[in-house]
């Protein structure tokens, strides 16, 4: 049953080494919690800036780095700070907004921001004018106390009058980043847990103290201002963010255009980002229809189906790269070890543990890193210098090997 994997593992054994430095702290978001800027939005699916720096330490600056599952932009900002041209693709508006806000933060003048914050502090934030404000999704109703929701809406109305776009973005980001703190919800693994004060049926959990909107938002603005003063501004080239699914965006990028790919793809389970980040998505104006479409797009990337296969072929054709689909498809079908893993996952899915077949995205990726034909996993690299590394294993997914071509190979286990 594991013959093809065993053959591949034997072939690469002398190039695989366990790296004890790749601790859970380094590969997960934990290490970001104390870093200026990175700490400002807790994206628990992210990895750490230190890990990215480690991956880039032997690379000559000035090259190109891609993260096709950019999240809140750890790869992008760490690469930018190290002097690389960073491109990110992200389908979830939550990550995309965090990246845009952080880029805006890199451009604002600290004194102008301080003046805008002082104006807001002088506002009692009690009267929310009639207007759009926070528009709930069915799954977010009851998340805030009436006083909190009124203050949030009054704040958003005041921010809408801010003339400087970057400052307005940073001010909105401060509210966005504290939504969990001011709500009766807590992100808990795959779920949003509801405090009993929400009045929701079956909500029995007690979250403890819930911050008032003013305390939370001005506390966070204080952190933002301190980071602006304490930490250097990004000196590298601006980040190129592409919003959308990498399945659609990758075929539009020229082949062999990246020196390095550093990423952490979503796993082939049914982890539903749209549920965990429902409050943030509602804040960003995603409505019920938009949420459904987003959920389908995201699940489509980790759950195999024939319709998607045809869609990927069409996307490649539309991008003028029909051969890309054929190459990727052949690599996908011909990799015996991969097919063996997929069959094992399918077996587990049949037993009901939720794993499904991963899809072609990783193989399309390989084309952009121009990888050689051998590597056995969706995390792979190539012989002639470019390098593709990932961080499997963060959320307990069992495979935890990285296979960067002929260079040093590291493993978190
Ligand atoms: C494990 S997280 C990556 C976190 C990122 N490395 C960081 O440190 O912030 C995976 C990301 O992939 C995004 N994603 C999932 N499917 C996607 C797709 N088809 N195209 C682009 N992004 C996608 C998710 O929204 C999520 O932000």
Distance CA 312, CA 306 (A): 10
224 domain residue, yes or no:
yes
- Using one digit for the tens of pLDDT, what is the confidence trace for 9-23? 888 788 777 778 888
67 domain residue, yes or no:
no
Helix axis angle for 110-121 and 146-160, nearest 10°, is: 130
What is the position in ligand 1's atom list of the atom closest to the CA of 300? 19
The residue out of 197, 230, 263 marking a domain boundary is 230
The residue out of 202, 230, 258 marking a domain boundary is 230
398 domain residue, yes or no:
no
Residue 91 CB–ligand 1 contact under 6 Å? yes
Q: pLDDT at position 126, please?
A: 78
CA of 90 to the centre of ligand 1 (A): 6
What proportion of the chain, given as a percentage, has pLDDT over 90? Answer: 46
State which of 63-77, 128-142, 244-258 shows the largest mean pLDDT.
Answer: 63-77
CA distances from 50 to 38, 77, 150, 312 (A): 11, 11, 39, 34
Out of 51-60, 192-201, 362-371, pick the least confident: 362-371
Q: Residue 288 above 90 pLDDT?
A: yes
- Average the pLDDT over 97-115 and give the result: 96
21 domain residue, yes or no:
no
348 domain residue, yes or no:
yes
Residue 181 CB–ligand 1 contact under 6 Å? no
- Among 31, 56, 90, residue to substitute to test ligand 1 (most atoms within 8 Å of Cβ): 90
Residue 241 CB–ligand 1 contact under 6 Å? no
- Using one digit for the tens of pLDDT, what is the confidence trace for 40-82? 999 988 889 999 999 898 888 889 999 999 999 999 999 999 9
Same domain as 215, residue 125: yes
- Using pLDDT thresholds of 50, 70 and 90, give the confidence band for residue 128: low
Residue 362 CB–ligand 1 contact under 6 Å? no
Which pair of tokens denotes residue 312? 């990927």
Q: pLDDT at position 297, please?
A: 84
Structural domain for 160, as ranges: 110-230
Out of 118-122, 158-162, 316-320, 375-379, pick the least confident: 375-379
Same domain as 315, residue 212: no
Which pair of tokens denotes residue 284? 């960003």
Summary mean pLDDT of the chain: 81
CA dihedral of 119, 124, 127, 133, whole degrees rounded to 10: 50
Residue 89 CB–ligand 1 contact under 6 Å? yes
Distance CA 29, CA 16 (A): 25
Q: Residue 308 above 90 pLDDT?
A: no
Same domain as 115, residue 223: yes
What distance, in Å, lies between the first and last C-alpha atoms of the chain? Answer: 23
Long-range own/partner contacts, residues 382-386 (CB < 8 A, 24 or more apart): 385/259, 386/256, 386/258, 386/259, 386/260
Helices (H), ranges, 194-321: 213-230, 246-249, 273-276, 278-283, 288-302, 306-318
Q: Are 199 and 164 in contact (CB under 8 A)?
A: no
Instruction: Tell me how many domains the chain contains.
Output: 2
- Using pLDDT thresholds of 50, 70 and 90, give the confidence band for residue 339: confident
Antiparallel, parallel or unpaired: β 185-188 and 191-194: antiparallel
Sheet harboring 387-390: ordered strands across? 240-243, 85-90, 64-67, 260-263, 387-390
Residue 97 CB–ligand 1 contact under 6 Å? no
Out of 4-18, 110-124, 182-196, 308-322, pick the least confident: 4-18
- Using one digit for the tens of pLDDT, what is the confidence trace for 156-185? 999 999 999 999 999 999 999 999 999 999
160 domain residue, yes or no:
yes
Same domain as 226, residue 306: no
- Average the pLDDT over 379-402 and give the result: 39
- Using pLDDT thresholds of 50, 70 and 90, give the confidence band for residue 334: confident
State which of 110-114, 329-333, 404-408 shows the largest mean pLDDT.
Answer: 110-114
CA of 212 to the centre of ligand 1 (A): 31
200 domain residue, yes or no:
yes
Dihedral class, residue 85 (left if φ above 0, else alpha if ψ from -120 to 50, else beta): beta
- Average the pLDDT over 28-37 and give the result: 89
Q: Residue 281 above 90 pLDDT?
A: yes
């Amino acid at each position: 049953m594991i013959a093809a994997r065993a053959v591949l593992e034997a072939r690469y054994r002398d190039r695989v080494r366990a790296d004890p430095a790749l601790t859970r702290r380094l590969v997960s978001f934990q290490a970001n919690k104390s870093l200026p800027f990175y700490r400002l939005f807790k994206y628990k699916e992210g990895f750490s800036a230190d890990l990215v720096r480690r991956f880039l330490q032997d690379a000559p600056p000035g090259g190109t780095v891609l993260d096709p599952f950019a999240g809140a932009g750890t790869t992008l900002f760490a690469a930018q700070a190290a002097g690389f041209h960073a491109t990110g693709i992200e389908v979830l508006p939550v990550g995309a907004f965090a990246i845009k806000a952080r880029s805006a933060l890199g451009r604002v003048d600290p004194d102008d921001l301080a003046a805008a914050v002082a104006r807001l502090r002088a506002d009692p934030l009690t009267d929310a004018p009639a207007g759009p404000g926070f528009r709930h999704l069915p799954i977010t109703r009851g998340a805030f106390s009436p006083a909190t929701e009124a203050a949030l809406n009054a704040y958003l109305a005041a921010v809408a009058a801010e003339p400087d776009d970057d400052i307005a973005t940073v001010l909105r980001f401060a509210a966005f980043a504290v939504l969990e703190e001011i709500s009766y919800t807590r992100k808990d693994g795959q779920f949003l847990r509801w405090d009993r004060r929400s009045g929701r049926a079956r909500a029995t959990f007690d979250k403890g103290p819930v911050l008032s909107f003013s305390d939370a938002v001005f506390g966070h603005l204080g952190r933002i201002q301190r980071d602006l003063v304490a930490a250097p501004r990004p000196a590298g080239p601006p980040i190129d963010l592409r919003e959308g699914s990498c399945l659609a965006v990758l075929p539009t990028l020229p082949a062999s255009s990246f020196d390095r790919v550093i990423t952490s793809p979503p796993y082939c389970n049914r982890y539903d980002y749209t549920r965990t980040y429902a409050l943030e998505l509602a804040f960003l104006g995603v409505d019920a229809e938009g949420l459904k479409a987003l959920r389908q797009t995201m699940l489509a990337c980790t759950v195999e189906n024939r319709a998607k296969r045809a869609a990927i072929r069409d996307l490649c054709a539309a991008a003028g790269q029909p051969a890309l689909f054929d190459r990727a498809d052949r690599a996908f079908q011909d990799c015996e070890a991969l097919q063996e893993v997929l069959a094992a996952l399918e077996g587990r899915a049949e037993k009901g543990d939720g794993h499904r077949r991963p899809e072609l995205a990783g193989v399309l990726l390989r084309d952009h890193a121009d990888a050689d034909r051998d590597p056995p996993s969706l995390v792979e690299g190539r012989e002639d210098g470019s390098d593709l590394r990932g961080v499997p294993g963060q959320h307990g997914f069992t495979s935890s090997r990285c296979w960067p071509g002929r260079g040093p190979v590291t493993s978190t286990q």
